[in-house]
Amino acid sequence: MRTRSQTRNRNRRQQQQTLPVVVEPCNLEEPIPGQTIVAMADRTMEELLRAPTEGYGEAIVLPEINADHFEIKTNLPQSVQANSFLGLENENPHAHINSFKRITSTLRFRNVPNDVIKLMMFPYSLEGAAKTWYEKEPPNSILTWDDLVTKFVNQFSPLQKPLTLRTKFLVFHKNSMNLLVKRGNVLRVCLDLALTMDFWS
């Protein structure tokens, strides 16, 4: 004996089987609005599975080097990393640039400008927030050593920093002056009381 729910389910299945399925033909030559169609038949499976590599270029563009045998030894990156810049508020970007220039000036190669060595080695001197800043720079946006120094110093030594320090100093100065005035007023009141009470006789 069938229940009502079993009968309903059976009727639904029969209706679904009898409904015709209409599929409209798709013309691939006409563009679908808002979509780009890429012919996949022209690409191999290896190309389809390869991850996209667009937008991952380095920010620093290195000029061509005309030297025959140019190789940086591993001790230079290690010494640069030992003096890394983290991008903390108390770090001085100018001091980091000067220290970095001293380290890289110890290397001399024939037909290789020192600026090229500095451009190659600078990313190794960054860690933390500074490294994050460098990685977010657009590809091919730094062409010379001066470009790099300008962007780096502007990022980690903004114009607001001196104003912030000046404001902190003025607030401290005002608070300390208010404290001195309050204590001076208390001292004056004590002296007035002492004079009126015949304290000295």
Assigned domain for 48 exists: no
Domain CATH code at residue 140: 1.10.1200
Q: Could you report the per-residue pLDDT of 73-101, keeping only the tens digit for each?
A: 767 778 888 889 998 888 889 999 999 99
> Is residue 14 left, alpha or beta, with left meaning phi > 0 and alpha meaning psi from -120 to 50?
alpha
pTM for the model stands at 0.52
Q: What angle do CA 145, 146, 150 make, to 5 degrees?
A: 120
Residue 83 sits in which domain range? 75-156
Give the C-alpha separation, 13 to 128, whole Å: 62
Q: Are 107 and 72 in contact (CB under 8 A)?
A: yes
3-state SS, residue 85: strand
3-state SS, residue 52: coil
Assigned domain for 195 exists: yes
Count structural domains, the chain: 2
Q: Could you report the per-residue pLDDT of 135-157, keeping only the tens digit for each?
A: 999 888 899 999 999 999 988 87
- Percent of the chain having pLDDT more than 70? 57
**Six-digit token string for 123:** 């990313």
